[in-house]
Amino acid sequence: MSTVDKRALVVAEHKDGKITPATLEALECARILSGSLDNIHGIVLAGEAEKLAGQLGDYGVQVTGFSGKFLKNYTGEAFLEVILDCAKQEPYAWIILPHTSLGMDLGPALAAHLGAAFVPGAQEVRPEENLFIRPVFNGKFSREVRPLTETIVVGALPGSFAQAEKAQTPGKVGLVTVDKAPARTVYVGAAEGEGPDLGLAQAQVVICGGRGMGGEDNVPLLEETAALFPRSAVAGSRIACDMGWLPYKAQIGVTGQTVAPKFYMGCGVSGAFQHVVGMSGSQFVVAVNTDPQAPIFSIADYCIVEDVMEFLPAFVKAAREKE
pLDDT tens digits for range 11-56: 999 988 999 888 999 999 999 999 999 999 999 999 999 999 999 9
- Asked if residue 186 is part of any domain, the answer here is no
- Asked if residue 145 is part of any domain, the answer here is yes
Q: How many CB atoms lie within 10 A of CB 40?
A: 27
Say if residue 252 is in the same domain as residue 216.
yes
- Asked if residue 190 is part of any domain, the answer here is no
For the cut 80, the answer to whether the pLDDT of residue 3 exceeds it is: no
- Asked if residue 183 is part of any domain, the answer here is no
Say if residue 149 is in the same domain as residue 254.
no
Say if residue 31 is in the same domain as residue 116.
yes
3-state secondary structure the chain: CCCHHHCEEEECCEECCEECHHHHHHHHHHHHHHCCHHHEEEEEEECCCHHHHHHHHCCCCEEEEEECHHHCCCCHHHHHHHHHHHHCCCCCCEEEEECCHHHHHHHHHHHHHHCCEEEEEECEEEHHHCEEEEEECCCCEEEEECCCCCCEEEEECCCCCCCCCCCCCCCCEEEEECCCCCCCCCCCCCCCCCCCCHHHHHCCEEEEECHHHCCHHHHHHHHHHHCCCCCEEEEECHHHHHCCCCCHHHEECCCCECCCCCEEEEECCCCCHHHHCCCCCCCCEEEEECCCCCHHHHCCCEEEECCHHHHHHHHHHHHHHCC
pLDDT band at 196 (very low <50, low <70, confident <90, very high): very low
Q: Please give the mean pLDDT across all residues of the chain.
A: 90
Say if residue 310 is in the same domain as residue 242.
yes
pLDDT band at 1 (very low <50, low <70, confident <90, very high): very low
Q: What is the spatial order of strands in the sheet that 173-177 belongs to?
A: 117-122, 152-156, 94-98, 8-11, 40-46, 62-67, 173-177
Say if residue 208 is in the same domain as residue 299.
yes
For the cut 60, the answer to whether the pLDDT of residue 174 exceeds it is: yes
pLDDT at position 181 is 86
Say if residue 109 is in the same domain as residue 234.
no
Q: Average pLDDT, stretch 150-159?
A: 90
pLDDT at position 160 is 80
Q: Average pLDDT, stretch 61-74?
A: 95
Identify which has the larger pLDDT, 158 or 179. Answer: 179
pLDDT at position 62 is 96
Rounded-to-10 torsion of CA 247, 251, 256, 261: 130
- Asked if residue 193 is part of any domain, the answer here is no
pLDDT at position 197 is 53
pLDDT at position 148 is 94
Instruction: Round to whole Å and give the CA distance between 296 and 292.
Output: 10
pLDDT at position 194 is 52
For the cut 70, the answer to whether the pLDDT of residue 139 exceeds it is: no
Say if residue 152 is in the same domain as residue 224.
no
Domain containing residue 126: CATH number: 3.40.50.620
Say if residue 144 is in the same domain as residue 207.
no
- Asked if residue 142 is part of any domain, the answer here is yes
Domain containing residue 221: CATH number: 3.40.50.1220
Say if residue 163 is in the same domain as residue 211.
no
- Asked if residue 270 is part of any domain, the answer here is yes
The domain of 294 spans: 198-321
Nearest one of 167, 227, 188 to 40, comparing CA atoms: 167
Instruction: Round to whole Å and give the CA distance between 277 and 298.
Output: 14
Say if residue 170 is in the same domain as residue 250.
no
Domain count, the chain: 2
Q: Which of 110, 145, 177 is the last residue of a domain?
A: 177
pLDDT band at 280 (very low <50, low <70, confident <90, very high): confident
Say if residue 49 is in the same domain as residue 149.
yes
User: HSE-up of 229 (CA within 13 Å, CB side)?
Assistant: 20
- Asked if residue 256 is part of any domain, the answer here is yes
Say if residue 273 is in the same domain as residue 140.
no
Q: Which of 177, 211, 227 is the last residue of a domain?
A: 177
Q: Which of 143, 177, 211 is the last residue of a domain?
A: 177
pLDDT band at 258 (very low <50, low <70, confident <90, very high): confident
Percent of the chain at pLDDT > 70 equals 95
For the cut 50, the answer to whether the pLDDT of residue 195 exceeds it is: no
pLDDT at position 188 is 86
For the cut 90, the answer to whether the pLDDT of residue 112 exceeds it is: yes
